[in-house]
Amino acid sequence: MLEKPEVRSEHNPFTNAQNQLDEAASYLKLDPAIHQLLRWPLRELHITMPVKMDNGTTRIFHGFRVQYNDACGPCKGGIRFHPDETIDTVRALAAWMTWKTAVMNLPLGGGKGGVICNPKKMSAGELERLSRAYIRQAGSFVGPEKDVPAPDVYTNPQIMAWMADEYSILQGRNVFGIMTGKPVALGGSAGRNDATARGGIFCVREAARVNGIELHGAAAAIQGYGNSGSYAHKLAAEILGMKIVAVSDSKGTVFKPDGFLYEDLMAHKKRTGSVTGFPGAEQISDEALFELDVTVIFPAALEGVINRNNAPHIKAKIIAELANGPATPEADLILRNNGSYVIPDLLCNAGGVTVSYFEMVQNSYVYYWDEEKIHHRLEKKMTAAFHQVHRTAGQHDVHNRMAAYIVAIERVAEAMRLRGWV
């Protein structure tokens, strides 16, 4: 059975990424050579992997690794296991990782990887064999000083551990620094599990401060209840005092006006496999979540969920993008005109790559920080990046995503000029 790669023709995320770059380039009056170089990945790898399945058959999987730009340092970016993965999605995500590391002022570039598969229909043994097969094919393309992968959609610390082990076998020595997001026992960092959500929560706090919005007791909705979405629930309540009134996952959306307790909802999801069917909650449509009268919406799933069709109906004061590319360019303009304050993905979900960078640093000198130090350093980096983007938006009179692009592209372009690439 073949898992064939396909190309999306509608809402192509890489086209969106290029359009966003083009718009930023016009604001910056970017050198044409720099502009053209930044529109495309420097390198990309397409791989085909035979994997033995539990029933004795061999299935052929397809995967990718894209190294978009490494002017500022080694590429950094996750590996996704998803049935709808495409090369254009991976290209877009690698581009956004380039801008994300630059927005955070990290000495890294941007990369991304993906495998076309449905991990929900695979056993642990099949996932391990697939993970190892990916590294056997891509191992020469990555490395601690070239390109360091991490978990992403439907991958996790265990998958990173298998990949790091396979890479170490190929090298004949322990090279745990090849991956970040690993288990702590194999050189992972404290504070990594909730880093994406925690960074986003720090951004929401700062956005509320600059806009005079009261968060304590205010309502929020979370679209996507995976790792970042569920931790956003926990931390929004703990740090910001918010109540989460609506939550969705791949099986549906539930609404409870007086709010869900994190512990109760997580226990229900672990028991049933979904947030749907939570006692006392109303089942609503996925589309209705975005139209709720809440203070904050956390898009925490896949790209393109906020678009020109639903953006006019969004009432939330703050959109905190924990997912990559959840809003289309058309939606950005509509949201700004309607007064919603968007914290773009390049900034809002950059807590993950920031703590991944901390993990790289700790791996390099084999000394590890405690969780308190990780949280403090993450807060400092996120707060500084937020205010840089907020100031840039005001200086150029643009929406926040464009401001983030301007900050990032200026930094990458300067590195390219200094290196003599253009």
Mean pLDDT, all residues of the chain: 94
350-369 pLDDT, tens digit per residue, is: 999 999 999 999 999 999 99
Q: Is 114 helix (H, G, I), strand (E, B) or coil?
A: strand
Provide the CB-side half-sphere exposure for 126 (13 A, CA): 18
Q: Does residue 256 or residue 332 have the better pLDDT?
A: 256
**Model confidence band, residue 328 (pLDDT cutoffs 50, 70, 90):** confident
Answer whether residue 1 shows pLDDT above 80: no
Collect all residues with Cβ–Cβ distance below 8 Å to 188 and sequence separation of at least 6.
157, 160, 180, 181, 182, 359
CA distance 232 to 194: 8
Q: Is 266 helix (H, G, I), strand (E, B) or coil?
A: helix
Answer whether residue 319 shows pLDDT above 90: yes
**Model confidence band, residue 344 (pLDDT cutoffs 50, 70, 90):** very high
Q: Are 67 and 142 in contact (CB under 8 A)?
A: no
- Percentage of the chain surpassing pLDDT 90? 90
Answer whether residue 187 shows pLDDT above 90: yes
The mean pLDDT of 181-193, rounded to a whole number, is: 95
Answer whether residue 337 shows pLDDT above 80: yes
**Model confidence band, residue 77 (pLDDT cutoffs 50, 70, 90):** very high
The mean pLDDT of 238-266, rounded to a whole number, is: 97
**Domains within the chain, CATH numbers bracketed:** 41-185 (3.40.50.10860), 189-351+358-422 (3.40.50.720)
Catalytic (active site) residue 112: yes
385-403 pLDDT, tens digit per residue, is: 999 999 999 999 999 999 9
Answer whether residue 7 shows pLDDT above 70: no
Q: Does residue 115 or residue 8 have the better pLDDT?
A: 115
**Model confidence band, residue 3 (pLDDT cutoffs 50, 70, 90):** very low
Answer whether residue 5 shows pLDDT above 70: no
Answer whether residue 267 shows pLDDT above 60: yes
268-293 pLDDT, tens digit per residue, is: 999 999 999 999 999 999 999 999 99
Select which of 76, 100, 112, 381 is catalytic: 112
Collect all residues with Cβ–Cβ distance below 8 Å to 363 and sequence separation of at least 6.
144, 176, 177, 180, 187
| β-bridge partners, 318 | 296, 341
CA distance 392 to 390: 6
The mean pLDDT of 204-228, rounded to a whole number, is: 96
Of the listed ranges 3-17, 47-61, 393-407, the one predicted with least confidence: 3-17
Q: Which two tokens stand for residue 310?
A: 């639903």
What is the pLDDT at residue 329? 81
The candidate with the shortest Cα–Cα distance to 181, out of 236, 113, 237, 129, is 113
The candidate with the shortest Cα–Cα distance to 243, out of 222, 228, 226, is 222
89-106 pLDDT, tens digit per residue, is: 999 999 999 999 999 999
